[in-house]
Structure 1
Amino acid sequence: MLQYEALFNHASMGIVVLDNKGMIRSANPYALKLFGYEPGELTGKAIEVLIPQRYHHRHVGHREGYTHHPNNRPMGLGMDLFAIKKDGTEFPVEVSLGNYQDKGEVSVIAFVSDISIRKRTEAQIEKMNAELEATVVQRTRDLQLTLDELKTSRGRLQELHLYQKALLDNAGVMIIATDEHGIIRLFNPEASARLGYDEAEVIGKASITLLHAPDQESDADLFNTLVAGSEQGLHEDAEYNYITKDGVVFPVSLTISAVKDEQGKVTGFVAVAIDIAARKQAEKELHKALEKEKELNELKSGFVSMASHEFRTPLSTILSSTYLIEKYIKTEEQPSRDRHLGRIKSSVAMLTEILNDFLSVGKIEEGKIQVRPAEFDIHETVESVIEEVRHNLKKQQGIHYTHEGEAVFILDVSLLKHILMNLLSNAGKFSPENSTIEVRTSCHNKQFLLAVKDHGIGISKEDQQHLMERFFRGANAANIQGTGLGLHIVSKYAELMHGKVTCNSEIGKGTEFIIVFQAKQNGE
C-alpha cells in the first residue's frame, strides 16, 4: 500500500481522478501545483475547469463517450492538448487516460504532463520536462494524512486500494518500485508489456539496473547515479536507454522518487519511465527537414547572386544587338544584321543554359530526379551529343572521339547526355581557339568509362577540392562566363547512376574528367 500511496503523492506528473459525470474526485499534489489550486479546491468541479473555454463544446462529448465505454483502451501519449491554470494561463499538456470500475461505477484517471518547455524550443520539438518541486517535508505530511484517513475506514482502504491498482494497471507509462537497494518490488503491466518481463521474473529477483542498456558503469555505480537526486528530494527527468528482454534498446524519459518512512529514512524508490523513441525520431526528422530547407534557401540565395551577375552580359548583348539591327536597313548590310542575330542567339542560348542548370540543381536537391536505365548504343549516343555541341565551340576548335570495347551499356541516356554536354561545354570554354577536345569511351567487363580531355587553362590542386560544389568557380576562371553549377550537376547525376568522377588537371596544361560506371547487378 505504501508503494501505491507514494505513486499518487510523489509522481512526477499530474494525476486527476474523475467520476462518470466528469466531476473531479481527487487530484495529486503535482496536479494542484501544475494548475495553481490549493488542496481540495478542485474537488467536485467539472474537469472542463482545467480546459480552455474554446474546447468545452467538443470535450464534453468526448469525455462522455469515454466514460460510457469502460472497456476502451487508454489513450496513448503523444497527443498535443491545451490546459488552463487557475489564473487563466494556457499551457500545452500531454495526457494519458485510463479507467477502472468500482461497484459498477466507472472512474477515469488522467495523467497530465506540462510540455511548455518543449513547445518553446527553437526546433519546435516536443519535449516533456515535468519538474516536481514538492519538498520532502510536504510529501511526508501528505503521506501521513493519507495514512490517517486509511486508518479511519476499512471501506476507504479498499476503495483506495482499487483506485491505486487502477493507476498502475491503466497508466500509459512504465512504473517500477524498488526497495532501498534497488531490488524490484512492483512492476506495472505497461512495464511488463514494453520490456517483455513477467512480474514473476523480476519482482524480488532483479535490480532496476537490469532494465538499463549496458554501459561502462557497474550495476552499483549505475544504481547510485539513478537515485542520487531523488534522495535529496530532487525530481528531474533524464534520458536513459532501456533494453527489453529480447535485447531491443529504446530511449526513455525517467524520473525516480524516493519513498521515506515517518522518520525520513529511505525505504525504496518509485521510477516512472516514458518511451520517447517516437519523439526522438520526430526530432531527427525535423532536424533533417530544417537542414534541407536551409540548403534550399542557400541555393536560392546563390542563384539570385549568380543571376544578377551572369544575366547582365547576355541581356546587354541582346539589347545592344537589337538596337543595332534596327539601324541596318540596306540590303548590303545583311552580313552585319546576321552577325548581331548570331550574338542574340548565342546570348539566348547562354541564358537558357543558366536556367536549365539551376532547374536541374533544384530537382536534384528536392530529390525529384528519377533514374530510368535502359540499354543504349554508346558510339551513337556520344556522337549525337558531340554534333549538338559542335556549333557552340570557339573558332577552329574540334572534337576527336574514340571508342573501344563493347558497343552497348545500360544507363539513363538522358542523364548521361547531360553529363557529356556539360563536360564538352566546359572544355570548349576553358580551351583556346584552334585546340582539340578529346573524347574517349570504353566498355569492358561490365564497366563503362567516359573521359573528356581539353588543353586549356587547367585547374589548380587547391581548386580541384571544391570543383563539385555549387556555384564554385576556379580562381583562374573569373573572366570566363559560367554559373559554377555544371560540374555540381555532373557529380550528382553520376552519383545517381553509381558513377565515380575523377579529375586530372594541371595549370596551363589542360584538364581531363574521367567517369567510371559499373554495370547494375541483378536485384539492385
Structure 2
Amino acid sequence: MIKYKSENIELIIGKSIAAVVLSVLLCFNEVCAQDVVIKDHTLIMIDSLNDLSKRYSFVDNIKALKYANEALELALSYNYDEGQAFAFRNMSAVYSAQYSFAESIEYIKKALDIFETLDNQEGIANCNISLGNTFNRLGQDSIAFGYYKMAYDFFDNTQDMERKSIASHNLGLAFFMLSEKENAISKFQKALEFSLELENYQLASSCLSYLGEIEFKSENFESAKDYFMRSLGISDQLGSDAQKYATMSALYHLALIHKNEDDTQGMMEYLEAALKMIPNLNFSFFVNEVYEEVISYYQERNNSEMLQFYTSQFVEILKGKNNRIAEDKTNIYLDLIRSRELDKKYAEALKTKEINEKIVEANLQEIRILVITTAVLAILLVIIVYQFFRNKKNLNAIKSIYNNAGTALVLIDDEGGIIRWNKFSEELFGEASANVLGKNFFREYVSKDSNIRPADLEKSYLNEFRIIRKDGKAKEISVSCSRTLINSKTFYVFYILDRSELNKLQRMNDFYQVILEKSNEIAKIGTWEMSYTSFLNKELPTLSSQVQEILEIDQISTQELQQLTWTSFFPSEEPINRLMEVFEKAIECNKAFDLELSLISYKGNDIWIRFIGSVEFHSVDDIRLFGTVQDITDIKNGINLIEENLKKEQELNKLKSRFISMASHEFRTPLSTITSSVELIQMKMAKSPNLIVDVLNKHTTSILTQVDRLEKTLDGILMLEKSMQGKIKTSFDRIDLRELFGELVDTINVKGDSRKPKLVIDPEARFVMSDLNLLHHVLQNIISNSLKYSKERQEPEISVEKIVDVIKIEIKDYGIGIPDSDKSGLFSSFYRGKNTTGIKGTGLGLSIVKEFVTLIGAEITIESEEGKGTLVSIDLPLFPLSQN
C-alpha cells in the first residue's frame, strides 16, 4: 500500500514538472517564431523597395529616390546590411542620372564598402556597373570601359542571365563610345539574344537601336533600317513607364534614311510619329533633332503657317522641359536633404539599437537562466525530497548537480549565515566555499552594519545589491530568494545573477537616450498632439518645449498661451485651407502626411516648418492627430540663397557677354577708321610731299572723331563703375528747367539730321531742386536717343508739367521702338535691342541714366511699341529726400 502511494506521488510530481517545463519552452519558441516571421517579411519588403527603385532609376528619378530612401530607412532599422548597400547603390544611380556626380560617387562608395565587408562579389560587380554609368556621363569613356569590363568578366561566368545581358549591353556601349565597331556589334548581339530569351524588351530595343546607329554611321542604310524596324516592332511591348530612348532613336534615324532616299513623305511620317511621343517623354534625346528636321522641312517649302506652329510648339516643349528639370532638381535637392537627415538620425539610432539589442539579449539570457534555474531547482528539490524518503544512495549525485549548476546558488540559514555555496558562487564572489561558512552574507558583502534578514528578500522577486569582492572588485548582483524546510528547520536558497554588465549597458542606453534628445534639440525637432475636434475649433495643440521654442511662445504666460489658436501663426487663409484639406484626407484615407508650411512666429518672424503627422482612431468620436515639427527655416534660406547666387551668376555671365560684344564692335570700328586714315595720310605724303592741308584736315578730323568716340565709351564705363560703387556724390541746387531744356534742344544734334524736338514747358514747372550735372546727363542721353532712333521720321516731343509736388517730364519719339523681347533688359549694362543694328551705341546709356535717376530721387518709366515709337517718363520730385 505504501509503495503504491509513493509511486503515484512520483508520477504526479514528474508529470507536473514536465508540464511546467514544456509550457515555458513552448511560449519561448512561439515568441521567437513570431520575431523571425516579422523580420523575414520586412527584409522581403526592403528588397522589393530596392527593386522598385532600380526599375524607376532610368524612368522617374523622384520615385526611384523615394523608394531607395524608404528601403534604406527600413534596412537601417533591421540592421540589414545588404538592403542598405542596394539602397545606397540605387541612390547613386539617381544622382548620376541627375549629373550630381559628387553625391553619386559618395553613395556608391558606401555601397562598395558594405559589399566588400560582406565579400559579396555580385554586389561589387553591380557597383562597377553604376561607376561605369557615372563615368560614361562624365565623358570619361576609357574609365567607364574599365568598370564595365570588370562587371562583364564577373557576370559572364555566372548563371544570372539578366545581369549577364545587362553587363554585355554596357560593355557594347563602351566599345561603341570608343569607336570599336566590331567589338560593339559582338556584345550588343550577345545582349540582344539573352534579352529576347528573357523577354526583356526594354534591353532588347536598346540593343537594336545601338546596332542600327552603328550601321547608320557606316552608311549601311538597309541593314540599319532592318534594326530600327525591329526596334519599333517591340516598342508596343514596353511598359507605359519604360524609357523609350530606342523608339525615338528608331523613328529619327528612319526619317533620315528616307530623307537620304529623297522620300520626303516617308521622312515626315516618321518625324510626325516622333512628335506625338515627345510630350510624354521624361528625357530630351532626339527632341531637338526631330524639331530641327521638321522646321527645316517647312522652311524649304516657305510654309510660314506650319513653320510658326512647330516653332511655337518647340518653344513650349523646351519651356516644359526646363520647368520639369528645375522641379526635378528641387525635389532631388530636398530628397538629398532628407537622405542627409536619415544618415544623421540613424547614425545615433544604430548606436542606441546596438545597446538595446544587448540589453534585450541580456534580459532574455537572465530570463532563460531564471527559468532554467527554477526548473533545475524544482527538479533538484523534488529529487532531494524523493530520494531522501526512498534512500540516501544518490546524495553524491545531488551534490554534483548543486555544485555544477549554471548560476550562483547559496544556502543561507534564517539569520543570514552562509551554510554552503556552489562553484559558480566561488567564481562570482572570488572566495572558496570553505572560507565563508558561517559568515553573515549581508554583513560580509553588502554592508558591515546591515540588518537585512533572508525573510525580507522573500517578498520580492528580484533584489539588487552592490557588493565588493575580497580582491576589491565591485559587482552588481540581483538575488531571488526561496524558502525551504529541512528536518523542520527553515533555510533559504539564494539564486544570484551577476548584473554588472547588464547595468552598465543600461546606463549606456540612458546616456545615448540623452544624446538622442539633445540631437533633436540641435535639429530643432519637437512633437505635437491634438484631437480632431479641437483642431476644428482652432484650439492650440499640445506642444513640446522644442515646438514652443520654434514658434517663440516658450516664454509667454499661461493665460496668453490659452488665448492663442493654431491659426494665429498662419500668414493667410490659403495655407490654413491647405492644412485642413491635408487633415481631412489623412483621416479619410488613414494615411500619414508630410508637408512644409510657411508660418509667422508669435514674435512676428517668418519661419518655415516641416510638419509630419499620423492619425489614430480611438473611437468614432475620438480621432487623435499627432506627429513632429521641424524648423527648416535655415534650410529654406540656404536654398533661396543658392538660387539667388545662381541668378546673380547668370546675370554676370550675360553682362560679360554683352560687354565683350559691345567692346569688340565699339573699339574695333574706331580703331579701324584711325588705322585706315593714318595709312591714307602716309600714302598721300609718299606720293606728294607737298600734301594740301585740306586733305590732311579731312583725315585728322576723322581720327579725332573716332578717338572722341572711344573716349566717350570709356567715360561711360568709368561713370557706371563709379555710380555702382557709390563714388558719385550729389549736389542739389535750384535749377531753371526752361534754361536747361533750351540749351539741350539747341546743342543736341545727330549727324545728318537737322530736326529739333518740340518743347512745351508749363510755367509752374520751371524750377526744381536737383543735381544739375546728373540731370543734364540724364536728359541729354534720352533726348539724343529720341533723335537717333527716329531718324527721317516725325520730330520728338518734350513736355514738362507740374503735378502736385512732382515735375513730370515726358520725351516722346516716333521711331523704331523697342521689341517686347528686349524690354526686360532696357536698363542692363551693354544691352542693345535686336533692331538697333547699324545705329551706333554702347548699351551703357540707359543703365547710367537709371543709376543717376535713382541718385537724384526720381523715377523713370519707358513705354514702347516696335515700329511706332517710345515714351520716356521721368517723375522729378520738387524737394527730393536724397538731397544732401
Q: TM-score range by the shorter chain?
A: 0.5 to 0.7
**Could you tell me how far apart the structure 1 residues matched to 2:839 and 2:804 are?**
40
Q: 1:251 aligns with which of 587, 605, 608?
A: 608
Q: How far 1:301 sits from its partner (Å)? A: 1.1
Q: How far 1:297 sits from its partner (Å)? A: 1.2
Which position in structure 2 is the counterpart of 1:336? 695
| 1:372 aligned onto 2:723 | no
Whichever residue aligns with residue 548 of structure 2, its letter is: S
Which position in structure 2 is the counterpart of 1:459? 816
* Counterpart secondary structure, 1:290: helix
Which position in structure 2 is the counterpart of 1:320? 676
CA separation of 1:423/1:328 partners in 2, compared to 1, >3 Å: closer, same or farther?
A: farther
**Could you tell me how far apart the structure 2 residues matched to 1:147 and 1:181 are?**
42
Which position in structure 1 is the counterpart of 2:292? none
Whether contact under 8 Å (2:733, 2:770) holds in the other structure is yes
Which position in structure 1 is the counterpart of 2:548? 192
Whether contact under 8 Å (1:178, 1:208) holds in the other structure is no
**Could you tell me how far apart the structure 1 residues matched to 2:357 and 2:567 are?**
32
CA separation of 1:484/1:251 partners in 2, compared to 1, >3 Å: closer, same or farther?
A: same
Q: 1:281 aligns with which of 610, 632, 637?
A: 637
State the identity %. Answer: 21
Whichever residue aligns with residue 806 of structure 2, its letter is: Q
* Counterpart secondary structure, 2:692: helix
Which position in structure 2 is the counterpart of 1:307? 663
Q: 1:239 aligns with which of 596, 611, 616?
A: 596
Q: For 1:476-487, list aligned pairs within 5 A.
A: 477-487=836-846
Q: Deviations over 1:370-391 (max 9, x none)?
A: 673612423555566567756x
CA separation of 1:128/1:410 partners in 2, compared to 1, >3 Å: closer, same or farther?
A: farther
| 1:409 aligned onto 2:768 | yes
Which position in structure 1 is the counterpart of 2:453? none
Which position in structure 1 is the counterpart of 2:860? 500
**Could you tell me how far apart the structure 2 residues matched to 1:459 and 1:220 are?**
55
Q: For 1:124-143, list aligned pairs within 5 A.
A: 127-129=337-339, 130-131=341-342
Whether contact under 8 Å (1:373, 1:410) holds in the other structure is no
**Could you tell me how far apart the structure 1 residues matched to 2:332 and 2:678 are?**
53
Which position in structure 1 is the counterpart of 2:527? 176
Q: How far 1:250 sits from its partner (Å)? A: 2.3
Q: Deviations over 1:162-184 (max 9, x none)?
A: 87467547833332264897999
Whether contact under 8 Å (1:318, 1:343) holds in the other structure is yes
**Could you tell me how far apart the structure 2 residues matched to 1:293 and 1:522 are?**
33
Q: Deviations over 1:397-425 (max 9, x none)?
A: 66787754455423343432222221243
CA separation of 1:148/1:397 partners in 2, compared to 1, >3 Å: closer, same or farther?
A: same
**Could you tell me how far apart the structure 1 residues matched to 2:725 and 2:782 are?**
23
Q: How far 1:478 sits from its partner (Å)? A: 3.2
CA separation of 1:463/1:483 partners in 2, compared to 1, >3 Å: closer, same or farther?
A: farther
Whichever residue aligns with residue 171 of structure 1, its letter is: E
Whether contact under 8 Å (2:769, 2:878) holds in the other structure is yes
Q: Deviations over 1:319-365 (max 9, x none)?
A: 1111122345456611111111111122122233344445566777x
Q: 2:778 aligns with which of 419, 430, 438?
A: 419
Let me know the Cα RMSD of the aligned residues: 6.1
Q: How far 1:256 sits from its partner (Å)? A: 4.8
CA separation of 1:293/1:161 partners in 2, compared to 1, >3 Å: closer, same or farther?
A: closer
Q: For 1:39-118, list aligned pairs within 5 A.
A: none
Which position in structure 1 is the counterpart of 2:805? 446
CA separation of 1:87/1:523 partners in 2, compared to 1, >3 Å: closer, same or farther?
A: same
CA separation of 1:190/1:342 partners in 2, compared to 1, >3 Å: closer, same or farther?
A: same
Q: How far 1:502 sits from its partner (Å)? A: 5.0
Give the number of the structure whose residues are more often helix, by fraction. Answer: 2
Which position in structure 2 is the counterpart of 1:23? none
**Could you tell me how far apart the structure 1 residues matched to 2:594 and 2:642 are?**
23
**Could you tell me how far apart the structure 1 residues matched to 2:515 and 2:533 are?**
24
Whether contact under 8 Å (2:569, 2:599) holds in the other structure is yes
Which position in structure 1 is the counterpart of 2:279? none
Which structure would you say has the larger RCO, counting Cα contacts within 8 Å and 6 or more residues apart? 1
Whether contact under 8 Å (2:530, 2:542) holds in the other structure is no
Q: Deviations over 1:100-129 (max 9, x none)?
A: xxxxxxxxxxxxxxxxxx999998999354
Q: Deviations over 1:412-445 (max 9, x none)?
A: 4343222222124334534669998776655675
Q: How far 1:316 sits from its partner (Å)? A: 1.8
Give the number of the structure whose residues are more often strand, by fraction. Answer: 1
**Could you tell me how far apart the structure 1 residues matched to 2:800 and 2:712 are?**
25
Q: Deviations over 1:424-480 (max 9, x none)?
A: 4334534669998776655675322445566xx7235867983936534374x5333
* Counterpart secondary structure, 2:816: coil
Aligned length: 405
List runs of 5+ in structure 2 lacking aligned partners: 1-71, 82-105, 115-327, 368-461, 466-502, 535-539, 618-622
Q: How far 1:285 sits from its partner (Å)? A: 2.8
Larger radius of gyration: 2
Which position in structure 2 is the counterpart of 1:42? none
**Could you tell me how far apart the structure 1 residues matched to 2:802 and 2:545 are?**
64
Whether contact under 8 Å (2:800, 2:807) holds in the other structure is yes
Q: For 1:341-352, list aligned pairs within 5 A.
A: 341-352=700-711
**Could you tell me how far apart the structure 1 residues matched to 2:563 and 2:794 are?**
81
Whether contact under 8 Å (2:733, 2:769) holds in the other structure is yes
**Could you tell me how far apart the structure 1 residues matched to 2:803 and 2:676 are?**
52
Q: Deviations over 1:46-94 (max 9, x none)?
A: xxxxxxxxxxxxxxxxxxxxxxxxxxxxxxxxxxxx99979879xxxxx
Which position in structure 1 is the counterpart of 2:649? 293
CA separation of 1:372/1:237 partners in 2, compared to 1, >3 Å: closer, same or farther?
A: farther
**Could you tell me how far apart the structure 1 residues matched to 2:821 and 2:594 are?**
50
What TM-score comes out, normalization by structure 1 length?
Answer: 0.55
**Could you tell me how far apart the structure 2 residues matched to 1:373 and 1:278 are?**
43
**Could you tell me how far apart the structure 2 residues matched to 1:371 and 1:287 are?**
34
Whether contact under 8 Å (2:786, 2:812) holds in the other structure is yes
**Could you tell me how far apart the structure 1 residues matched to 2:864 and 2:779 are?**
17
**Could you tell me how far apart the structure 2 residues matched to 1:464 and 1:185 are?**
52
Whether contact under 8 Å (2:863, 2:871) holds in the other structure is yes
Q: For 1:256-267, list aligned pairs within 5 A.
A: 256=613
Whichever residue aligns with residue 521 of structure 2, its letter is: A
Q: How far 1:274 sits from its partner (Å)? A: 2.4
Which position in structure 1 is the counterpart of 2:12? none
**Could you tell me how far apart the structure 1 residues matched to 2:735 and 2:512 are?**
78
**Could you tell me how far apart the structure 2 residues matched to 1:220 and 1:513 are?**
49
Whichever residue aligns with residue 276 of structure 1, its letter is: I
List runs of 5+ in structure 1 lacking aligned partners: 1-28, 39-81, 90-117, 261-266
